[in-house]
Each structure stands twice: as C-alpha cells, then as structure tokens.
Structure 1
Amino acid sequence: MLRSRIIPCLLVHNKGLVKTVNFKDAKYVGDPINAVKIFNEKEVDELMVLDIDASKEKKAPNFEMIKNLAVECRMPFCYGGGVTTVEQARKIISLGAEKVALSSAALNNLDLCVKIGEVVGAQSVVVVIDVKKRKLFGGYDIYTINGTKKSKWKLKDLIKELDNIGVGEIVINSIDNDGVMKGYDMDLAETIRDLCKMPLTILGGAGSLEDVKKLISKFKVIGAAAGSLFVFKGKYRAVLINYPNREERKPLY
C-alpha cells in the first residue's frame, strides 16, 4: 500500500553539506556521510541528495561520493546532480541508489528520461523542477542551473509531457520558499497535484512538523521533502541533524 514519505533533502557543495536560502548564500552545515549515519539511526523514510555544483560546473556525478553514501544508507536513496547520460544513471543505480534525479538534462531532452527508464526502470527516474512565482500575472516559471537559467518550458506543458512519457516521480521545488521555513507553497502543490498523475514530492519551505502534516493531510499520498527543517533547530537555526521518531511521525501520515 502506498503511503506518504517524509524526506530529508541534503545539498552537497564542495563535497560538504550546505543549506541555502532562495538558492543563494550556501551555509556549511556538516559532512554528508555523518548526516546519513544520523538519519540511519532516525529510520527516515527516504533520503534525497542533490549535488548543486555538478550541473552548474558541467561536471559528471561524483561516483566515489555516491558509493560512500549508498554504502552508509539504510534507507531508500535518491541522488541528483550532473546526470546527463544513460550510463551515468545505470552506474548510480549499480552503486546502490534507488533513484536518479535529473533536472536541466531532462528539460533539455525528455527522451533521456525514457532511455534511462528503459535501463534502470521508469520507477527510478525522478525529475526535479525548480519553480519561481511570477511577480506579474501569476503562475510559475521554471528555472535550471540552481535557479539561474529560465526555462522555456511552461509548467503545465512540462507536467503533461512527463506524465506522457511515464517518469517515476516529480519533485517540485519552490525557489521562493527555499530555506525560508515558513511553510510549503500550498497553492503550488495544489496546482501540480491537479495536473499530474505521477508520484509527487513537494520541496521548499517546511519549518515545522505541522507544515509537513498540513501538506500530507491535504494531498494524502505525497512526498514531503525538507532541508532546513532536518538540519537546523530553534529560532537561531543551530545546526542539528534531526528527524521525528516513529511516535512523532504517526500523526503526520
């Protein structure tokens, strides 16, 4: 039976774990491997790791880091960053990741998603869509390369195409809400949920477990991903890797 998932999202920059606000001002918060070890103890539902340097610097995925993370992970693990070929995706899965996330490479060539799905299984192909709310006229624009390059895709058209080719999951990431910790963009989540039939994960803005509960309660089977919520604690944002225990999670699903 499918159920919602609560997913820590870790950002890797210069091989370290960082957190951003609106995709800017990356703050070092620790070592990714140490974070994974703590999340193992917390028995997290799933883990997402995104290398935010790879696509920007046109680098291939760091396979050594992926292998080290996969060896430590005792939960389903999704990796994204720098994946541009079928062979790279195949290798990432062979190293122990359950899912491969693509962003700019997928938007530039949807056929890549199809070809990767044929090799590793469509259920393992995740497309991350970074969006920013338009200041005029409403709606959302799609951006790639860490929010620096505006895509020509219209959100509705892209979701329709991804549905048609049958990717395993989409992750919608709100640039406006990234690191702000004031709650998810519920209007964005509703827009996407109405458009797509695929498994959906929402990322960007969670500042409390109540925010996670609100998202899951409204949209039922959905992925609730967060970064700051699981690496900071308290109003002064002290670095502390955390995750709700089983009893704390029960009311959230």
Structure 2
Amino acid sequence: MLKKRIIPIQLLNNGRLVKSIDFGNFRDVGDPVKSSSVYNSQYADELMLLNVSREKRSIADLLQIIVKISEVSFMPLAIGGGISSPDDAALLIRNGADKIVVNSVAYRDLNVITETSNRFGAQAVIVGIDVRWDADLDDYRLYSRCGSAAENVGLEQHIARVVAAGAGEIMVQSIDRDGSMQGFDLDAISRAMTASPTPVIGAGGSGNYESLKDAFITTGVSALACGSLFNFSDSNPLRAKAYLSNHGLNFKKV
C-alpha cells in the first residue's frame, strides 16, 4: 500500500511567498528559502513551489530561487508555474527540481508532458487541474492561466488525456475552496480518484487536521497539499502526520 503524503504548497509571486483566497487577494507570508528550510526540519514528505505571478509567466523566477532552496531542503521538490516547453521542464529538473508541475500548457501541448516523462520518468510529471463548480453547467469547469481562463473540457476527459500523454500524478485543486480553510472539495477529489490510474493530490481548503482526515478517508486520495493550514495556524507537517497516524493512516516513518 502506498504511504500517504502531506505536501506544503508554496506560492511564489515576485520573489516572495504569498497565500491566496479564490486564486487572488494575495497576502505576503514570507521568504521562500527560509520557509523551505522550516518545512525541511518538520519532515514534510514533499515540497511544492508554484509561480503564480500574473506578469512573469516564465520559469525565470523559479530558476533564481530553486538552487537556494535545494541548499536548505532535502525533501523531494515539485516546481511549476510558467512552464511552456519540454526544455523549460528539463532546465528546472537539472537545476534541482525532482518533479515539475504543469497546468496551462497541458491544454495546449501534450508533448511537454510526453517528452518530460520519456526523459525523466512519469514520476517527474504532475499535472495540476484547477476546478470551480459551475452552477449553469451543473459540473466542474476547468481553468488555466492561474484560474483566469475557462477550458472547454471535462475533468475526466482531461485526466484521461494527460495520463495517456505520460503524466505520473494529478493534482486537483478547488478554486472555490482556495484559502477558505473550510475543508477540501471531496467530490472533486473523488472524481479525480475514480478517473485517474495514477496517484492524485488534493488541494484547496486545508483548515485543520480533521479536514485532512476526512479527505484521506473519504476519497482515498494519495496526498494532500496544504497552504493556509501551515501559514495561519501553529500546525506543521510533523504534527499533522502524527494526528493522522493515530487514525490509521500510513505515513513514511521519520
């Protein structure tokens, strides 16, 4: 049985870490290098860093910071935001990323997934899928470009396409729940779990340990990415895993 994972998710905007609400309303939460060092000391299973700058949609800022983070953090590192080509992905991996996270480009050029998967292994490719409930559609609408552009494809269809292209992991993130600290969108995660033969990460809405327990037990999700839980409370990955282990969930021993 695969061990569950807790993944701190850090959002980079112009060199600083921010936390968003509904994919906007950014609030400064610190320095990315110092924060990564703290998570390393707290035995996070992985660390995710996403560039959410609306103006700088390239990997330039990520390349500037990734080497510094690699010096203080020794956990697996997933990097994304602004990746537009297989060369971008390769450059990030060669400079310290263990995995890359692609979102917008996955709707336009599946070859980025395929080439990266072929060169570095499927485990190195996470496809992020941002969803929002659409009452008129009576279904989830998928969004790219940091939640600003609606995509004309269904959740299950998109998962099937990116997995066939070589994705090794799916991250489904609720825009509605982002920054709310009101719990994960269990329906969205459950649907992704049913559709995906690869591991799924749930994101958006982490508020307390009970919400993590509910998501893991209800959906069977492989991992949960948490931002607000660790930024705005005294919680940390070590405490979260201790709590969840007491409820029968299996985590890597540290």
TM norm. shorter chain > 0.5: yes
Which deviates more, 86-95 or 12-21? Answer: 86-95
How far is the alpha carbon of 1:136 from its aligned partner? 2.2
- What's the counterpart of residue 115 of structure 2? 115
The 3-state SS of whatever aligns with 1:225 is strand
Find out whether 1:243 has 2:237 as its counterpart: yes
Find out whether 1:59 has 2:58 as its counterpart: yes
Give the TM-score, by structure 2 length: 0.91
Give the letter for the 2:211 counterpart: D
**Distance of aligned partners of 1:14 and 1:61 in 2 relative to their CA distance in 1, 3 Å threshold:** same
- What's the counterpart of residue 176 of structure 2? 176
Query: 1:122-160 CA distances to partner (integer Å, 9 max, x unpaired)?
Result: 210111011110122421011111111111222221111
How far is the alpha carbon of 1:242 from its aligned partner? 3.0
Give the letter for the 2:106 counterpart: A
Whole-angstrom distance in 2 between the partners of 1:203 and 1:230:
13
- What's the counterpart of residue 68 of structure 2? 68
Whole-angstrom distance in 1 between the partners of 2:224 and 2:18:
20
Query: 1:177-196 CA distances to partner (integer Å, 9 max, x unpaired)?
Result: 00000000111111111111
Unaligned runs of 5+ in 1: 234-239
Query: 1:200-244 CA distances to partner (integer Å, 9 max, x unpaired)?
Result: 0000011001111111112335111111011111xxxxxx67333
Whole-angstrom distance in 2 between the partners of 1:205 and 1:144:
19
How far is the alpha carbon of 1:26 from its aligned partner? 0.3
Instruction: Kindly report the root-mean-square deviation, in angstroms, between the aligned alpha carbons of the 2 structures.
Output: 1.7
Give the letter for the 1:99 counterpart: K
1:12–1:52 Cα contact (<8 Å) kept? yes
Whole-angstrom distance in 2 between the partners of 1:230 and 1:136:
34
Which deviates more, 149-158 or 99-108? Answer: 149-158
How far is the alpha carbon of 1:247 from its aligned partner? 3.2
Give the TM-score, by structure 1 length: 0.91
Matches within 5 A, 1:144-163: 144-163=144-163
Whole-angstrom distance in 2 between the partners of 1:197 and 1:134:
26
2:6–2:237 Cα contact (<8 Å) kept? no
1:61–1:88 Cα contact (<8 Å) kept? no
Give the letter for the 2:122 counterpart: A
Find out whether 1:6 has 2:6 as its counterpart: yes
Whole-angstrom distance in 2 between the partners of 1:136 and 1:41:
46
1:127–1:167 Cα contact (<8 Å) kept? yes
Unaligned runs of 5+ in 2: 250-254
Give the letter for the 1:59 counterpart: S
Identity %: 31
The 3-state SS of whatever aligns with 1:244 is helix
Which deviates more, 217-226 or 136-145? Answer: 217-226
How far is the alpha carbon of 1:56 from its aligned partner? 5.0
Whole-angstrom distance in 2 between the partners of 1:67 and 1:81:
16
Give the letter for the 2:140 counterpart: Y
Paired residues, number: 246
Give the letter for the 1:57 counterpart: K
Whole-angstrom distance in 1 between the partners of 2:147 and 2:183:
20
Whole-angstrom distance in 1 between the partners of 2:229 and 2:238:
10
